[in-house]
Amino acid sequence: MSSYIIEGGKRLQGESYVSGSKNASLPIMAASILNKGITKLYNVPNIHDTQMMIEILKSLGCKVKKNQNKIVIDSRNVCKYEIPENLMHQMRSSVIFAGAILGRYKKAIFSYPGGCDIGSRPIDLHLKGFEKLGVNINKNFGKIICNVEEITPCEINLDFPSVGATENIMLASCLANGTTTIVNSAMEPEITDLQNFLNQMGAKISGAGTNIIKIQGVNKLKDVSYNIMPDRIEAGTLLGATAITGGEILLKKVEINHITPIIDKLGQMGCKIKLKEREIELKAPKRLKAIDIKTMPYPGFPTDMQAIMGACLTMASGTSIITENIFENRFKYLSELEKMGAKVKIEGKSAIIKGTRTLYGTKVNSTDLRGGASMVLAGLSAKGTTKVDNIEYILRGYEKLDEKLNNLGAEIYKI
């Protein structure tokens, strides 16, 4: 297991840039198998999760070439419709292949992806969506076996605007003979990126970004080249790292309208923000102000930014309340921050954070991807040296995080 060593107390300043979106890349990589041809993807982040997706694509029979942030997927010889169990368990978002495999093969075998550190993460909404599309689902010994003669287009009402369930239904109904409507669909920007990608492949999808998405099935798709959108959570993480160290940054390659809730909260915390075409300039105050945050489905405040803001608020002036409305177990990072001197109390779905003047470097653990990033931010601003363990979590979702932070004046290195 690797760790980061961070010498705290350095004020971040300078220029940085945002890499491609992890959460847009994963469903788009899965969607590539809907076309028996060649898919070229650019601006794909070079991280563990996209590498795992490449392994799954290869296990299904694809040829995949990767050169830095460019991936070429040849899915002409896809011959399998079972997602390998070991790969499913290593990355729950591999469940997104189910819809793509079903869309192409009308059958799919996969296993329960299992929960992870932030909650039980069921897939009932995915399975209910498949059933509404006429798919027969049998479950035995942890495996889910799906098959269907023909996907039956219909209207599907999601009990919750699940990102993964919305994506899986879009993929499963792309090649159906008729129109499927998703009501109460997720509105995240990653859904819009998936719609744009699929439409460039020849699909006929509309409504992404709203809570009603229509998928008009087509007979065939075609080869496509596509540029992945910037990662809005990495953007928020780099802005948060600047904010927690009282620094200033010019952040490039940002999609401003994807991160307005994050910008709004950083402004409330006292940061001075200038918006330019695909660039953000942020100047942090000496000490951030306490604020309240409630995570919500997009366009509300993103749950993936909750731990990042939690770190920033541990040294704000005043008491902040963070309410986590999306996942049931996303406060584990707070007990790690307490080891550094943070004053926190959890009451149900809310965390009460009493701002303190100083955090102290010590040995802490990454509890999950975003919890790990939160440890890095706390280490950047702490007095002394911080060792962040289990950074494999962080490497799943952030490309060159240490390099980007060092280029801004931090002192962080991997051991």
Least distance between ligand EPZ and beta carbon 222 (Å): 26
- What's the token pair of residue 324? 């986590």
Nearer to ligand EPZ, 242 or 374 (CB): 374
392 binds ligand EPZ (CB under 6 A): no
Q: Which helix (H) or strand (E) holds 234?
A: helix 232-244
Nearer to ligand EPZ, 153 or 161 (CB): 161
Residue found by looking up tokens 């075409």 in the block:
277
84 binds ligand EPZ (CB under 6 A): no
Name the nearest CA neighbour of 195 among 185, 186, 187, 206.
206
Nearer to ligand EPZ, 26 or 382 (CB): 26
Nearer to ligand EPZ, 187 or 382 (CB): 187
Query: Which residues in 298-317 contact ligand EPZ (CB under 6 A)?
Result: 303-304
31 binds ligand EPZ (CB under 6 A): no
Question: Closest residue (Cβ) to ligand EPZ?
Answer: 164
Residue found by looking up tokens 């998936």 in the block:
194
* Residues 44-83: x where in contact with ligand EPZ by CB under 6 A, - otherwise, as a string: ----------------------------------------
- Given candidates 12, 31, 53, 123, which one binds ligand EPZ under the rule CB under 6 A? 123
- What's the token pair of residue 415? 């051991």
Per the document, the length of the chain is 415
Antiparallel, parallel or unpaired: β 224-227 and 212-216:
unpaired
Nearer to ligand EPZ, 22 or 404 (CB): 22
- Total residues at the site for ligand EPZ (CB under 6 A)? 26
- Residues annotated as catalytic (active site), given as ranges: 116
397 binds ligand EPZ (CB under 6 A): yes
397-401: long-range contacts at Cβ-Cβ below 8 A with a sequence spacing of 24 or more? Answer: 397/22, 397/47, 397/48, 397/49, 397/233, 397/234, 397/369, 397/370, 397/373, 398/47, 398/234, 398/237, 398/373, 399/19, 399/20, 399/45, 399/46, 399/47, 399/234, 400/19, 401/237, 401/373, 401/376
Residue found by looking up tokens 């604020």 in the block:
291
Number of C-beta neighbours around residue 223 at 10 A: 16
DSSP letters spanning 83-94:
--HHHHHH-GGG
Query: Which residues in 156-195 contact ligand EPZ (CB under 6 A)?
Result: 160, 162-165, 186, 188, 190
124 binds ligand EPZ (CB under 6 A): yes
Antiparallel, parallel or unpaired: β 292-294 and 204-206:
unpaired
In order of 43, 98, 177, 206, the CA distances from 226 in angstroms are 9, 22, 26, 18
Nearer to ligand EPZ, 16 or 93 (CB): 93
Q: Which helix (H) or strand (E) holds 98?
A: helix 96-105
Strand ranges (DSSP E) for 184-331? 204-206, 212-216, 224-227, 248-252, 272-276, 279-283, 292-294, 319-323
* Residues 361-380: x where in contact with ligand EPZ by CB under 6 A, - otherwise, as a string: --------xx----------
Least distance between ligand EPZ and beta carbon 26 (Å): 5
- Given candidates 10, 48, 104, 121, which one binds ligand EPZ under the rule CB under 6 A? 121
- Given candidates 126, 132, 232, 258, which one binds ligand EPZ under the rule CB under 6 A? 126
Nearer to ligand EPZ, 31 or 125 (CB): 125
Least distance between ligand EPZ and beta carbon 120 (Å): 6
Binding residues (CB under 6 A) for ligand EPZ: these are 22-23, 26, 93, 119, 121-126, 160, 162-165, 186, 188, 190, 303-304, 326-327, 369-370, 397
